[in-house]
Structure 1
């Protein structure tokens, strides 16, 4: 049996992308906290992950690493700490409307349904189809581009940019290619940010009802984003608003095809769909890992995490922790008390989570009647390279 100090290397090895769950079991059995050969720490148990996600002594900012990346730019607010994180997140969320009230995203349910039906209509007489390319990718990217106000003809440009940014954010320990990935990701982030700021500037004093218009025409000077903040926020909204959703929809379709009894039950009982989406977020989450950095020595489960070290929280492992979830390897759409880590927890709870939930419920609700007579053509399907944002690259089915 391989040593526990190679677990992160093995989990992030592409060969294990189709099924990392036996390695997560090994991680939990090795102890709540497992030091890796490269000096980082890997944590896969639910209660310890949750405690660290809520601990103010734990940073998301890579500049707090003992050896921070050379020449690293200021990270997006997703990777900043409070109070700066809170300020930028509040400004970014402002166009969505007041917290806990029906806002812009809720008002988009009709549009999301409309885009879903358009995509499925185009697949009417086609077989086989690829759930990813033909449905799960174009749905959220179309929705988020409409939300921001990106012209339809420019939407294809975002896939290349997005792929590069996601690859650069991955937690794979292969140092050889990380510098190249980081450079490509930063270039994509700059290009996408410049494009979105230019688009916003075109709406200055000529708002068109979208979020870029809302950002650029903010009447309160104290609430305005700088050009740099606008670029970072718009890029992050686009990535958060569609990357997680592509994986959530695709993982959902694959899980239902592998569980025909539950697929049939959801077809008969569509009211179970919201709970089924929460179970998918636990059972096959779109986000598998997150990196954190202690700002001081932090004791957790009898181990000291030294200041400045890389700590990788395996959220997907926490979601299968038998100390928190009964029969965790079973897919159960009626599971009670499902406080999963599918979108993280604490102050960095996923920015795109409300949108992802609505899109997944709408998409899977429309897909389920078609999936009941579908055949999965490749199992396991080919997976995307990212270990952190895990999902199939293609999911071919015959209707």
Structure 2
């Protein structure tokens, strides 16, 4: 069983990054204004139910411009404050610590504190569906301060021009480019890409675990598997003892060809959900098949980005995002001029048609749509599939009902987005003074929407803690993957891919069942999905 540290650092094997490329030179990153690196006490009247506000100022420069020592010291102090506030009972600080397999009891503690409460971390936090909906739509709330940089307690920045940190105005300009392909009214045109990706991953998976045919050439006990990277790997077949020790079946007679085949055992996430999601994104971006493994490696490192912005992550993961960005841009630069992908001909220019005037020397946001699909879309799609399957397999009959009636799949996807979404948290910063839920929030205030909690608000949903795809239509929509910004170009494709993946599993593996405990990663308060789900079919 992995240790807590191993689970904190665990990343899905989307591809290996055996050699980390150097980060961009420090002088290519616009420096932030110098900041006091010591934890700061909030205003004297900034009292909370769990003590005064004590927060760590953001790192005084971008991740790429900081030395490893500066970054490590900053993350260590930030992590220490998360533990301090958690020890004093603040439920939001406990969410940031990310040590609970099930964060929903913590969300209920947040809800008990009212529709909007001040955490000693410095954030204003809500689990209320109505307040959250107002926050996500509020025109005076953005992802960064008016100057484009983080505010306490936002942890790090990769630069104001990077995809997950673009402001509202930038996203509105960018939408003109991606909506014609990725908009909700057009994304159905990409269904064939998602369906083909899922079928091909399943083909490889099932072929690698097929029962040997009597009379066929002897196997060495290993089979090819496409894994998450899309690159064939060698894995022991279920019939071969991994240790090499003799088993009672070593001298058994050949299997009767007429007997039922043995169960197909695999890991849902490692062997299907993540590689299928990467394959869908790769196809949409026009990445050649021989580069799928490289794209998977980029997606693996970029998956830590959403969590790194709001909670202290290990320095290697924080820096891994920067190297993943550099490698992704190089990969996209190397695509053939006639790349076969629907997005490559629409938003594939190096700047995506977007120039952010705040950046030094007229610098542009490089490949913003492609970066969002890789950093946010691939992992969200994989987690949405994983969370849906775990919920379906947790009760006898749910999976069989889906297999019998595939028309339920869209309802399952929406119910999973309400019940256990792949994105649990969104953040905003007040550009000016605002009034929310009876509180006056000054300009620069940091607001956190626990979107994972809003789906279980009893004021909005009946029996909110029950997974029920047959839930009556016409109720409030789930807030996960809503609110525009970086969710805009990602949400329609994530939904589409999840539906295609569930359809492929239901058609090909109607006997799917869970074969062991679900293992979940640590220190991922924003992204939520299984690390491993052992299954048989």
- TM-score, normalised via structure 2 length: 0.65
- Is 1:141–2:224 an aligned residue pair? no
Give the corresponding residue for 1:83.
169
Moved more, 190-199 or 141-150: 190-199
SS in 1 for 2:344: helix
SS in 1 for 2:168: coil
SS in 2 for 1:155: helix
| Distance in 1 (alpha carbons) for counterparts of 2:156 and 2:201 | 43
Give the corresponding residue for 1:231.
367
| Distance in 1 (alpha carbons) for counterparts of 2:423 and 2:503 | 22
| Distance in 2 (alpha carbons) for counterparts of 1:194 and 1:38 | 38
SS in 1 for 2:418: helix
Q: 2:97 aligns with which of 13, 25, 47?
A: 13
Distance 1:190 1:273, change over 3 A: same
| Distance in 1 (alpha carbons) for counterparts of 2:387 and 2:182 | 30
Structure 1 residue 145 displacement after superposition? 0.7
| Distance in 1 (alpha carbons) for counterparts of 2:365 and 2:309 | 28
Give the corresponding residue for 1:164.
301
Give the corresponding residue for 1:273.
409
Moved more, 352-361 or 382-391: 382-391
> Which one has a bigger Cα radius of gyration?
2
Gapped runs of 5+ residues in structure 2? 1-49, 51-85, 211-237, 239-263, 356-362
SS in 2 for 1:15: coil
Moved more, 81-90 or 291-300: 81-90
Structure 1 residue 333 displacement after superposition? 0.7
Give the corresponding residue for 1:292.
428
Structure 1 residue 346 displacement after superposition? 4.4
Q: Conserved in 2, the CA contact under 8 Å of 1:256 and 1:262?
A: yes
Gapped runs of 5+ residues in structure 1? none
Structure 1 residue 254 displacement after superposition? 0.9
Structure 1 residue 318 displacement after superposition? 0.4
SS in 1 for 2:307: coil
Q: Deviations over 1:250-293 (max 9, x none)?
A: 11111111022322222222211111111111111110011211
- Is 1:315–2:400 an aligned residue pair? no
Q: Deviations over 1:101-152 (max 9, x none)?
A: 4664245355346435534543653632010111001111111111111122
Q: Deviations over 1:283-315 (max 9, x none)?
A: 111100112111112221122233212221100
Q: Deviations over 1:226-268 (max 9, x none)?
A: 7944433322222333111110111111111102232222222
- Is 1:74–2:160 an aligned residue pair? yes
- TM-score, normalised via structure 1 length: 0.86
Structure 1 residue 375 displacement after superposition? 3.9
Distance 1:265 1:159, change over 3 A: same
| Distance in 1 (alpha carbons) for counterparts of 2:354 and 2:273 | 31
Q: Conserved in 1, the CA contact under 8 Å of 2:385 and 2:501?
A: yes
SS in 2 for 1:153: helix
Q: Deviations over 1:136-174 (max 9, x none)?
A: 011111111111111222222233322332223216865
| Distance in 2 (alpha carbons) for counterparts of 1:31 and 1:159 | 42
Moved more, 341-350 or 381-390: 341-350
Q: Deviations over 1:319-340 (max 9, x none)?
A: 1100000100011111122511
Q: Conserved in 2, the CA contact under 8 Å of 1:166 and 1:386?
A: no
Q: 1:188 aligns with which of 318, 324, 339?
A: 324
Q: Conserved in 1, the CA contact under 8 Å of 2:143 and 2:429?
A: yes
User: Mapping of 1:1-399 within 5 angstroms?
Assistant: 6-16=90-100, 18-61=101-144, 63-66=148-151, 72-94=158-180, 96=181, 100-101=185-186, 104-106=189-191, 108=193, 111-112=196-197, 114-115=199-200, 117-119=202-204, 121-122=206-207, 125=210, 127-170=264-307, 175=312, 177=313, 181-199=317-335, 202-203=336-337, 206=338, 208=340, 210-215=342-347, 224=353, 228-335=364-471, 336=473, 337-346=475-484, 349-368=487-506, 373-383=511-521, 385-399=523-537
Q: Conserved in 1, the CA contact under 8 Å of 2:269 and 2:531?
A: yes
Query: What do you get for the CA RMSD once the two structures are aligned?
Result: 3.1
Distance 1:278 1:116, change over 3 A: farther
| Distance in 1 (alpha carbons) for counterparts of 2:342 and 2:296 | 21
| Distance in 2 (alpha carbons) for counterparts of 1:367 and 1:98 | 26
User: Larger % of helix: which?
Assistant: 1
| Distance in 1 (alpha carbons) for counterparts of 2:368 and 2:164 | 10
Structure 1 residue 348 displacement after superposition? 5.2
